[in-house]
Amino acid sequence: MNNPLFYAKILLFGEYGIIEDSQGLTLPYSFYKGTLKFSDLDNDFEKKSNQSLKKYSNYLSDLELPAEYNLDVKSFKNDIAEGLFFDSNIPQGYGVGSSGALVAAIFEKYSLIKRNPETISKDELKDLKFIFGQLESYFHGKSSGIDPLICFMNLPILIESKESVDKVSIPKEELGKGAIFLIDSGMTGETGPMIQIFFEKLKNEGFRKTLKEEFIRYNNACIDAFLKKDMNPFFRNLKKLSVWAYEHFRPMIPENLFNVWKKGLDSNAYYLKLCGSGGGGYILGFAKDYAKAEKMLEGFHKEVIYRF
């Protein structure tokens, strides 16, 4: 049985801001992927995955979804009994959507009404985002639904506001000197505690003000410039965004990256930002001259995700 592959995702812009209605831009990332498979469950990974699916199926049994988004939970449970597991190389706790890909795979296989991502309208996207939010809340306590939506659609998505999302075209990759890349912090992060820290910070009026007046402005300007391929304003706003995060998202930045984060800002050789909720996992890097940045970031594992 060949089930479709579901890719990881990368939230290029919008981390935390999308909770407060900033824009977001997110892309599928095919380096990591997962698919539902059957097996005899003769190794620990498969066994553990199968047991996790079993627990999740109980959550789905109690979940009330609108009729047009209902899942065939009975078939799902039968398949679990037959040895279903999620075969995935998407690292958990790295901010690249491991639970999003799983939710998308289950929805694609067990939703009673089948949907073709290419023909889904903007209104349907909004509904799907809401449904996916409910399906993924099991893993994080609260989910925006964006991760599974990206994984299901396998297309770049522009988050216009809390309520509105749309498919978007990103500029074609070119083999230039510049790159967007991932840096492995070498530790996993947990989304729940990081989001908790953010909500605590939101209670502070000064933080709320700077988030709205600075972070969201720089974030949205970066998205706008990137989609237009306007690289000068892009990097100008990116630096402001990176400085802001260095000052206000300290708890979310893995400790071993504090100094290299600052080094990038001081040298202008590269700029770093959070990839997802932070606390560990990957950090995103942007450089006009990747070869130079790579030299300065020696000792860290890096993966290029986009060239320009």
- pTM here is 0.87
List the chain domain ranges. 6-167, 179-307
- Rg, C-alpha atoms of the chain: 20
287 three-state secondary structure: strand
Please determine, looking at this structure, whether the domain spanning 179-307 carries the CATH number 3.30.70.890.
yes
Confidence check: pLDDT of 132 > 80: yes
Question: Would you say 132 and 152 are in contact if contact means Cβ atoms under 8 Å apart?
Answer: yes
In the predicted model, what is the mean pLDDT of residues 167-180?
Answer: 93
Would the pLDDT of 1 be above 60?
no
Please state, for a pLDDT cut of 70, what percent of the chain lies above it.
99
* Equal CATH topology for 6-167 and 179-307: no
Lowest mean pLDDT of 63-72, 91-100, 271-280, 298-307, name the range: 91-100
pLDDT at 302 over 80: yes
Q: Which residue has the tokens 């306007």?
A: 230
pLDDT value for 106: 98
Average pLDDT rounded to a whole number, residues 202-207:
95
Looking at residue 192, its pLDDT comes to 78
Can you point out the beta strands (E) in 136-261?
Answer: 157-159, 165-167, 179-184
Section 181-191 average pLDDT: 90
- Write out pLDDT tens, residues 72-118: 999 999 999 999 999 999 988 888 888 999 999 999 999 999 999 98
Average pLDDT over every residue of 209-222: 96
C-alpha to C-alpha distance for 234 and 113, rounded to whole angstroms: 41
Q: What is the pLDDT of residue 190?
A: 82
CATH for the stretch 6-167: 3.30.230.10
Of 288, 159, 193, 302, nearest in space to 231 by CA: 288
* pLDDT tens per residue across span 27-56: 999 999 999 999 999 999 999 999 999 999
User: Strand 179-184 to strand 165-167: parallel, antiparallel, or no bridges (unpaired)?
Assistant: unpaired
What is the pLDDT at residue 2? Answer: 67
List C-alpha distances in Å: 41 to 45, 49, 51, 92, 104: 8, 9, 10, 20, 22
* Model pLDDT for residues 48-65, shown as the tens digit of each residue: 999 999 999 999 999 999
Query: Residue 16 is which amino acid?
Result: Y
d(CA 284, CA 149) in angstroms, rounded, equals 21
The share of the chain scoring above pLDDT 90, in percent, equals 83
